[in-house]
């Protein structure tokens, strides 16, 4: 059959609007709306038959039941849903009424066309409403990770506007000890602050094992500035609670859920966070980031540099310490899960590399050691040996007990490339 014969067969089923008629031929020609296709076919068929042209009111269409006349109304409702929200990109999805979907199948079946001819009703609805939303709001469509996703439920007559998360990247330095990276709920009361009806003795009723955290200093400020409902803190690894994070700082991303503001002054935000932290932590290099930066921060292979204050059980000479550190430089270390983390880590042997190890004695029993190693290398155990679970170790090579009395992380950098790649930023 020719395209005009197919169009006639569709039109003979009853009053079919131009959009529903043209939708069966959506793959034919470009630059036309389905309504334009449908009207053109109807006109061409009338000319070919030498019959009067008869238009069909969209409201009378038995297929869409008038829904294709409502693109403007739905777009206006979408715009109203975000009139007080900052967004740059959007996407529209439609939940089509089951009856309309059934009518579409009956229309094609009755005309002898394949059930998948053209495109679906909801695909046209997404596109036509979406074009209008873009014009009304000055935003651009994004089919990957838009700022806002609209769901149009035609049968329920509702518009749902889902705001996707916004992301702020930066680096933090932790300038005081005994501050965890993220909030640490009390394990005795599961963060409630109560055991039964009484305040929890273990956490003093606070619900947390530590009063402050890097997350606690950073996330609430970002959430407030971006007018979000909640936040998640994503770090490139984490240092021990009793370790400082100095030098270049540790990369992190704060994810803000359902933000109503996205255009923010990151320099002002940086100052606000640092003022709130009052010397406990500080952040720098804040930038608006993409969704993909979360995975990059969490999964990019990184090396780390540490400075450790070490105390020995026996006297050690400069020559002995130098020789031991030379032996560790370039060494492959096998570490069975340390005692101090075996309650939350799988019991396996990990292989990590030491890139460089230097240090100097302060006296015969005390030294400062600097280690540059592969990510995941347990530094305290590299020094102590952890009762033989780490091999080789500084204590094992020196044949004396050794313990880290203070640990500082002084650099966290990508192994093969920097964390800061412009591809992952929005500015």
Among all residues, which ones are annotated catalytic? 240
The reply, when asked if residue 169 is annotated as ligand binding, is no
CB atoms within 10 A of CB 194: 13
The reply, when asked if residue 53 is annotated as ligand binding, is no
Question: Which amino acids are annotated as binding site, given as ranges?
Answer: 306, 378
Question: Which amino acids are annotated as binding site for substrate, given as ranges?
Answer: 306, 378
């Amino acid at each position: 059959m020719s395209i005009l014969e197919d169009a006639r067969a569709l039109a003979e089923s009853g009053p079919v609007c131009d959009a529903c008629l043209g939708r069966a031929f959506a793959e034919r020609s470009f630059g036309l709306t389905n309504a334009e296709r449908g009207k053109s076919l109807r006109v061409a068929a009338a000319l070919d038959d030498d019959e009067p042209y008869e238009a069909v009111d969209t409201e009378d269409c038995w297929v869409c039941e008038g829904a294709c006349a409502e693109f403007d109304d739905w777009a206006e409702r979408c715009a109203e849903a975000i009139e007080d929200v900052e967004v740059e990109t959007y996407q529209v999805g439609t939940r089509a009424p089951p009856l309309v979907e059934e009518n579409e199948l009956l229309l094609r079946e009755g005309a002898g066309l394949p059930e998948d001819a053209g495109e679906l009703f909801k695909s046209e609805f997404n596109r036509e409403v979406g074009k209008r939303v873009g014009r009304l709001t000055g935003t651009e469509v994004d089919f990957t990770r838009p700022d806002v996703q609209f769901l149009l439920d035609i049968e329920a007559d509702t518009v749902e506007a889902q705001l996707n998360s916004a992301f702020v990247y930066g680096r933090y330095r932790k300038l005081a000890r005994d501050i965890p990276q993220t909030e640490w709920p009390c394990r005795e009361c599961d963060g409630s602050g109560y055991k039964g009806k009484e305040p929890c003795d273990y956490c003093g009723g606070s619900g947390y094992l530590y009063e402050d955290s890097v997350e606690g200093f950073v996330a609430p400020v970002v959430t407030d500035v971006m007018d979000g409902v909640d936040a998640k803190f994503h770090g490139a690894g984490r240092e021990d609670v009793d370790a400082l994070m100095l030098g270049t700082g540790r990369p992190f991303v704060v994810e803000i859920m359902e933000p109503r503001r996205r255009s923010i002054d990151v320099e002002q935000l940086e100052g606000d966070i640092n003022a709130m932290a009052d010397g406990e932590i500080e952040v720098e290099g804040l930038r608006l980031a993409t969704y993909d930066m979360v995975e990059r921060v969490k999964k990019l292979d990184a090396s780390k540099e540490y400075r450790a204050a070490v105390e020995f059980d026996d006297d050690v000479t400069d020559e002995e310490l130098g020789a031991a550190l030379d032996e560790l430089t370039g060494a492959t270390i096998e570490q069975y899960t340390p005692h101090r983390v075996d309650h939350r880590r799988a019991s396996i042997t990990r292989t990590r590399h030491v890139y460089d190890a230097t240090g100097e004695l302060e006296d015969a029993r005390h030294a400062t050691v600097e280690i540059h190693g592969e990510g995941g290398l347990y530094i305290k155990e590299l020094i102590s040996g952890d009762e033989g679970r780490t091999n080789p170790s500084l204590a094992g090579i020196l044949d004396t007990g050794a313990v880290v009395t203070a640990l500082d992380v002084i650099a966290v950098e990508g192994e093969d490339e920097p964390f800061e790649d412009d591809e992952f930023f929005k500015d």
